[in-house]
Amino acid sequence: MKTKNKKNHLIYGIVGLGRFGTALAHELYEAGAEIIVVDRDEEKISMMREYTENAYVVKNLDKKSLIEAELTNCDVAVVCIGEHIDTSILTTLNLVSMGIPSVIAKATSVEHGEILEKLGADVVYPEHDMAVRLAHRLEASKLLDYVQLGEKINISKVKVPQHAVNKTVLEINLRENYGVNIIAIENNGTVIEVIKPDYVFREKDILYLSGSKEGFLKLSSWAND
C-alpha cells in the first residue's frame, strides 16, 4: 500500500468516493493510515491510486465483490453512500455480515440512520458531524484538525504543548492517560512513522493521533495547558 505509515495500524475501508468519502480518504492518508477504497467510477478510483494501491472499481456492491476488493482485511469500513439509500443499506448489511469489526455508515436522514443502526452500523450524519468538528476546533485551539468517524474512532492533529517538550512518549503516556494513540509525529516537514517510547518531544512537533471522542475531550486540557 502507498501509505505514509507502514507500521501495523488500523486498516480503513471506504466505500463510495463522493465528497464525503474522498475527503475522508485524504484525511486518513495524511494521518498515515492504511486505506482501501471502492467506487463504481473508474476516474475517481484512478485518482485515488495516488494515495493507495488498494483502490478498486466495483460496479456491483454485493458481498462477493466486496470480498474480492479485500474489504475483509479492514478493521473499520465506512459506507459513504448517501444519495442511493437502497444501495447504502445493502452495502452496510453486506459489510456487517462479512464480520468487519467496525462498520460506519453515512446517513442522510434520521429514518435512514435508524435502519443502518438496526443493521449493526455506527451512523454518522455529515452536517451534524461537521458542526461537532467545528465545536472541537473552537473549544481546543491546539487541536489543528479533527475527523469524527464514530463514537470510538477519531483522527486529530495536535501541537505538542510547551510543558511536554523534552519529555518522552513514555513519560507523557497519552494512551494510558487519555486513551489516544500516536500515529505519527511531524516536525518541519519531516514525518516520523515509528514512534518509540523513548522519543523526546521537541518544540514544533505535531502529533497525529487516533482515539475516542472522550479521549480527545480530555486531551484538549492537556494540549492547552
Q: 183-200: string of b/e by CB count within 10 Å (b at 16+)? A: bbbbeeeeeeeebeeebe
Residue 150 has a pLDDT of: 55
Residue 8 predicted with pLDDT over 50: no
Q: Which of 21-30, 119-128, 159-168, 202-211 has the lowest mean pLDDT?
A: 119-128
High-pLDDT (> 90) share of the chain, %? 50
Residue 195 predicted with pLDDT over 70: yes
**Where do the CATH 3.40.50.720 domains begin and end in the chain?**
11-124
Residue 4 has a pLDDT of: 40
Instruction: Render pLDDT for 69-109 as a digit per residue (tens, 0 to 9).
Output: 999 999 999 999 977 899 999 999 999 999 999 999 999 88
Residue 92 has a pLDDT of: 96
79 - beta bridge partners? Answer: 15, 105
Q: What is the mean pLDDT of the segment spanning 2-15?
A: 66
Residues contacting 150, CB < 8 A, separation 6+: 102, 104, 122, 124
Class of domain 135-224: alpha beta
Q: What is the mean pLDDT of the segment spanning 55-59?
A: 94
Helix 85-97 / helix 110-118 crossing angle, nearest 10 deg: 20
> What CATH number belongs to 11-124?
3.40.50.720
User: Could you tell me if 103 and 120 are in contact, meaning their C-beta atoms sit under 8 angstroms apart?
Assistant: yes
Instruction: Render pLDDT for 102-155 as a digit per residue (tens, 0 to 9).
Output: 999 999 888 999 999 999 999 888 766 665 655 555 454 445 555 555 555 677
Name the pairing type of β-strands 190-192 and 180-187.
Answer: antiparallel
**Beta strands per DSSP E along 47-152:** 55-57, 76-79, 102-106, 122-124, 143-148
Residue 33 has a pLDDT of: 87
Residue 53 has a pLDDT of: 92
Residue 6 has a pLDDT of: 42
**Where do the CATH 3.30.70.1450 domains begin and end in the chain?**
135-224
